[in-house]
Structure 1
Amino acid sequence: MTKDFFSNSEFERRHKMVRMAMEQSGIDLLLVISPAHIAYLIGTPAKGYQEFEMLFFPLERGPITILTRLSEVPMLLAESLADNVQGWGGREPEDPIAAVKKIMQDRRYVGMRVGLEVPAYYLHPHDYMKLVDLLGSSLKIDATNLIANIKLIKSPVELEYMRRAAEIADAAMSTCISSIAAGKTERDVSSDIHHTLLSAGSDIPSSPMNFLTGPRSAFAHGEPTDRVLNVGDFMHIQFGAHYKRYCCTIGRQLCLGEPSIRMREVYQVARAASDACIEVIRAGVPATVPHSAAKSVIAMAGMDQHRLHLTGYAVGAAFPPSWVEPMSMDSGSSDILKAGMVVAVEPPLFGVEGGLGVRIVDNVLVTENGCEILAKTTRDLISIL
């Protein structure tokens, strides 16, 4: 995601919304760690998130500074909106928090009311402890979700990119269906899918593919292996296509040969739960409602013990290791669905007797009157005969 993916007016709109949220939160300086949030503000494809990286975003309009590992400086100078790009380490060992301290002093940020992002990834606990010590009483809020809450609602251009990602996902799922055959391995099929993803314009994935076949279908997460496919295998697959870093995920249930009666029964429970979830998604609905709808279907079927995963969550711009945005459809959510959000619907069943499991994944765009499923691949149980 570079600055060239969006217009200046798009970035200006984002800056304005973030500064409004900062003002409401009572902070003068936002220290941004999440790569998706850094890209949201200045546009950057650099892999600086593999090491310590921080964007200094002030409440008052002015120069924006980013601190990144030294090797990323040339790319950020060329392809981001950052006014000042400073590097640390690289040639010799350096403490990045010492570099943060110098920037705070040079930019006269010392003493400002600060909000700090503390994402689940990207910030080492040791660095976090040093930052807390450095900021002292200036640290006013945990700002981890300040930008995250804003970017849940996608702009028209962002939705355009996610629709393109959905088209790529459909093409890759078509490849998956045509590739599956007895005697091939999970790795063989995965290779074909990845070739289609990349050749169709997808970026590298932000999370590895889940592809589980035969008795492995009982498991929730697993990368493709050398397991050989056999007639009678029940299987589920999930992967994401990424267009200009905007992600659309898809998951489908397949059977190599004719599915057994029990396979169809288990699939139908997961499908009914997914349908019930999608049916109630619309703007203004609490995120707990779709979750409850799916949960009720599974519980009534006597399979709640196999509901081992989230019902759904928000998706958008994504960087490794995850495509999940911080909004979940579960019983503990306080979120309200809004038009322009994109959520992944995936109430699955895992650990069923006989090595069975089902995962159906669809990304849906929340609208005022309902929702729109982005991918067009059939959601039926796919039999490969």
Structure 2
Amino acid sequence: MSRHDFTAAEFEARRARLRSAMAAHGLDWLVCFHPVSIHWLTGAEAKSYQEFQCLLFPAEDDAIVVLTREGERNEFVDDARVDRLETWGGPEPEDPIERFAGLAADLGLGSARVGMEVPAYYLHPHHYARLREVLGPALVEEPSALVHDLKLVKSPTELGYIRKAAALADIGIEALRRALRPGQSELALAGAIIGATMAAGSGIPASPINLVTGRRTAYSHGAPTNRILQPGDFGNVEFGTTSHRYTATIGRQFALGQPTPRMLELYGVVREAADAMIATIRAGVPAVLPHEAAKAVIAKAGLDRGRVHTSGYGLAPGFPPTWGEPLHMFGGSKYVLEAGMVVTVEPPVFLGDEGLGARLIDNVLVTDSGAEVLARSGRDLIVVA
């Protein structure tokens, strides 16, 4: 898998687009740390993002260099399109920044114009401070979204993987329906979903499943626990499925027994808000407009205090702890939607004082004429009698 998931021509096209973007920024080199950037450019899937790792990408059509820990050498050799592989560590400790400094000197970065990604999660602050010292005045920009922005519009092959992931998410919802009953624990319910999706071919998603019931439905990202489901419970689940690391997410609301009027009200508001977003999404629309459509619905219902989360975001191939892209449908977003983007739709209402919350999550493909919902699972409130 990995480098074999795409043709050599597709990788070369990605690299050519990045070189053009670097030329527009006046960069000679880009140092990438985000594992999604490295994956998109090389196909690498190794867990080396847990330690120091980077890709040094030249503006000229020259060798692409990866520096990673020695323990990942074999996986990179087999699975990644890398021209030059350098490693640090091994049987004894080694300072990766000293190794980077020697490599930077060898490549001539000190006399070049260098850009460097500074992503959340994947670059230790102490390493960042030392890298700035190593690069000195050669470091002229920190364009952390440069690669991510190039990959927001998905290729036909990428869309094929995302559609497969969405079909796997539907399998997870069916497993939820079969397993949902009083007396079941949240963990057992989560296990039924995860087991069904992985047995059907899903990879391990970048972010753990969220599953909450009872008063815990007020938690926007609550993990499943040993809590036993009771008659009358309201509940919410969100999980991801993957195909070749390309992610689909889905979220559904459920009730054990007849839902109360307030439960029905919250579910109705988030569904109306999601529908308003979907009706707004199409190519050429500023990303903030679907958010504003959802916000208006929730505010009209008097529930804006419970809107504690983004209305939606772009979906990427995922590496822990996230599958999200920089594109957000949220206040202040500068992005414009384009055909071929895949975004989540998930406007929420979470009310801590009431111990209740509701959120539907769907993925949609942006098209020139509108939005295509990728999952086929019904969006109705799931009620177990």
Deviation at 1:353, TM superposition (A): 4.7
- Counterpart in the other structure of 1:169: 169
The structural deviation recorded for 1:205 is 1.4
- Retained in 2: the 8 A contact 1:43–1:79? yes
Equivalences for 1:322-333 in 2 at 5 Å?
A: 322-333=322-333
Alignment match, 1:160? 160
What per-residue deviation string (whole Å, max 9, x for no partner) do you get for residues 248-276 of structure 1?
00000001111111110111011111111
Let me know the Cα RMSD of the aligned residues: 0.9
Helix, strand or coil for the counterpart of 2:109? coil
Alignment of 1:310-349 (within 5 A): 310-349=310-349
SS at match of 1:110: helix
User: Take 2:57 and 2:277, find their aligned partners in 1: how far apart are those partners?
Assistant: 38
1:112 is the counterpart of 2:112: yes
Task: Tell me by how many angstroms 1:326 deviates.
Answer: 0.6
Structure 1 stretches of 4+ with a deviation exceeding 3 A read none
What 5-or-longer segments of structure 1 have no aligned partner?
A: none
* Aligned partners of 1:213 and 1:229 also within 8 Å: yes
Q: Is the 8 A contact 2:109 2:135 kept in 1?
A: no
Residues in 1 aligned to 2:95 and 2:135: alpha-carbon distance in whole angstroms: 16
* Equivalent in the alignment of 2:300: 300
Answer whether contact 2:314 2:342 (CA < 8 A) is retained.
yes
- In the other structure, the counterpart of 1:88 is 88
Alignment of 1:164-243 (within 5 A): 164-243=164-243
C-alpha displacement of 1:108: 2.9
C-alpha displacement of 1:90: 2.7
**Separation (CA, whole Å) in 2 of partners of 1:267 and 1:217:** 12
SS in 2 for 1:97: helix
> Do residues 253 (structure 1) and 238 (structure 2) align?
no
Mapped contact 2:109–2:138 kept (Cα < 8 A): no
Which runs of 5 or more structure 2 residues have no equivalent in the other structure? none
With normalisation by structure 1, the TM-score equals: 0.98
Match of 1:19 in 2: 19
Count of residue pairs the alignment pairs up: 385
Deviation at 1:104, TM superposition (A): 1.3
Distance in 2, matches of 1:7 and 1:109, equals 30
Deviations 1:126-185 (A, max 9, x none): 000001111111111112110010000000000000000000000011101111111110
Superposed CA deviations along residues 62-103 of structure 1, whole A, max 9, x for unmatched, are 211100011001110111111111111132221111111111
Q: Equivalent residue of 1:160, what SS? A: helix
- The equivalent of 1:129 in structure 2 is 129
Partner of 2:111: helix, strand, or coil? coil
Distance 2:359 2:210 in 1: 10
The 3-state SS of whatever aligns with 1:255 is strand
The one-letter amino acid paired with 1:357 is G
Query: Which residue in 1 is equivalent to 2:70?
Result: 70
What residue identity is the alignment partner of 2:138? S
Per-residue displacement from partner, 1:179-207 (whole Å, max 9, x unpaired)?
11111100011111111121111111100
1:375 aligned partner: 375
Contact (CA 8 Å) 1:162, 1:316: kept in 2 or not? no
* Counterpart contact for 2:44–2:79, Cα < 8 Å: yes
Contact 1:236 1:359 in 2 (8 A): yes
Q: Is the 1:248–1:316 Cα contact (8 Å) retained in structure 2? A: no
Structure 2 length as normaliser, TM-score?
0.98
1:289 aligns with 2:284: no
How far 1:106 sits from its partner (Å)? 2.0
